[in-house]
Amino acid sequence: MNKSLIIATVLALLAPMAGQAESLPKESQYQAEGYPARGQVNVLAQQMVNELLLQNDGLLPEQPLLVATPVSVADFRGSNELAQQLQQGLMAALHARYFNVVDVNLGEAVRVTAQGDLLLSRDWQQLGQNIDVAHVLVSSMSLAKDGLVLNSRIVDTGNKRVVAASQAFVAPAHLTGYLAQSERVVSRDGLLYRYEQRGEDKVKVLGDRP
């Protein structure tokens, strides 16, 4: 058979496959372009855990560790969807490093509902009363004009000594599923602030109320 005819035949067979690769949804191609938007927070959690373990001088892997939900540095109370997902990511990252992570959201009984059989809860009345842990991972979040500042530390609950600490800064481009630049008009404390262009105020967490 003619060599040029063989090459033409092979190319004709490969052409439909190339077309299929180009038509793949973007979610299927993220490995070549970086992490998907909702996966970036888990990468951040892994980086924070790596830094915490590099500085750890008191927590042993077999000691129970509780991961608290990150809170606003302004009042140590406010939280959001990003903070809740970061908490889950920190728990997964610590467990992957063989630490003894305690899940405080595990209820005492399964609740059979129309939505499913549920065991996790954020209602303290449905959770266990006594949690035997001596170390807690706490984190605070602060919004800045160009990104989010995160501070985390593992604390000994017996003497309040910090046994590990980490700091991180994240730009909106690195947490596209959770952070965005501020709008030209920003509502804060009952007042409206107008700017010439977007991004002149603090970044916003997507899903938060203004």
What are the pLDDT digits (tens) for 30-54? 333 455 555 788 889 999 999 999 9
Three-state DSSP state, 5: helix
Summarize pLDDT for 96-137 with one digit per residue, the tens: 999 999 887 766 666 767 776 665 666 655 556 677 888 999
Q: Please state whether the predicted TM-score (pTM) of the whole model is above 0.75.
A: no
pLDDT at site 11: 47
CA torsion sign for 52, 73, 87, 59 is positive
Q: In residues, how long is the chain?
A: 210
- Going from N- to C-terminal start, the domains of the chain cover 36-170
Nearest alpha carbon to residue 148 among 126, 175, 166: 175
Place of tokens 């889950």: 88
SS3 23: coil
The tokens of 68 are what?
A: 């608290």
Q: What is the CA radius of gyration of the chain?
A: 23
The CATH number for 36-170, chosen from 3.30.1390.20, 3.40.50.10610, 3.40.50.1970, 3.30.160.60, is: 3.40.50.10610
